[in-house]
Amino acid sequence: MTTESKQDTRHGVVGPTSGVLRASATAVVMVLVLVIAGALRDGSAGAWGALAGGGIAFLVFASGTAVVHLVAGAMPSASMLVALLTYTLQVAAMALAVGALNASGVAGDSVSRGWFAVGVITVTAAWLVAQIWHATHLRLPAFDLDVAGHDEGHSPQPEAGAR
């Protein structure tokens, strides 16, 4: 008596939303660590700077990634265009946030510019590392193992150069 082998690869499969969640959790932890470090080093100005920089970077990356995932699921052919547009909007949003912070006059007095920069850079690096880790550990099948109606070792298409 033999039993049929079940190759269910769903166990342990990491979906696309788990990469967003993992990157988000990493970014939030980094923001909290930076806020504590900024508060210990430079008081409330350091804490507010780290929170503002890290928080803005997190919101920009999370919203951009969420938009790209939604579009890729709904209309995959438009995902590259939306990804490029989202990247452009992310750069513009960060520039506007830094400009608004400078124009408000808050930067330097109650919000440390240095900790703002540290927050943006650290959250950006953490987000990037988490996304790369997720992409390299994502289990996507490169080919179908079960091809119905074809003999083992024979391709349905003629090979290149076959006569």
Q: How far apart are CA 155 and CA 147, in angstroms?
A: 10
pTM for the whole thing?
0.70
The pLDDT tens digits of the residues spanning 109-144 come to 788 889 999 999 999 999 888 888 888 887 776 666
Q: Give me the pLDDT at residue 14, please.
A: 45
CB 97 within 8 A of CB 56: yes
Tokens of 24: 């988000």
Answer whether 110's CB lies under 8 Å from 45's CB. yes
Is the confidence at residue 6, as pLDDT, over 70? Answer: no
**53 against 5, higher pLDDT:** 53
Task: Return the pLDDT at 53.
Answer: 92
Q: State which of 10-19, 22-31, 99-108 shows the largest mean pLDDT.
A: 22-31
Q: Which residues contact 42 (CB under 8 A, 6 or more apart)?
A: 49, 112, 114, 115
Place of tokens 């987000």: 127
Indicate whether 159 pLDDT > 90: no
pLDDT recorded at residue 23: 81
Which residues have a Cβ under 8 Å from the Cβ of 97 and sit 6 or more positions away? 56, 60
Residue carrying structure tokens 């927050």 = 119
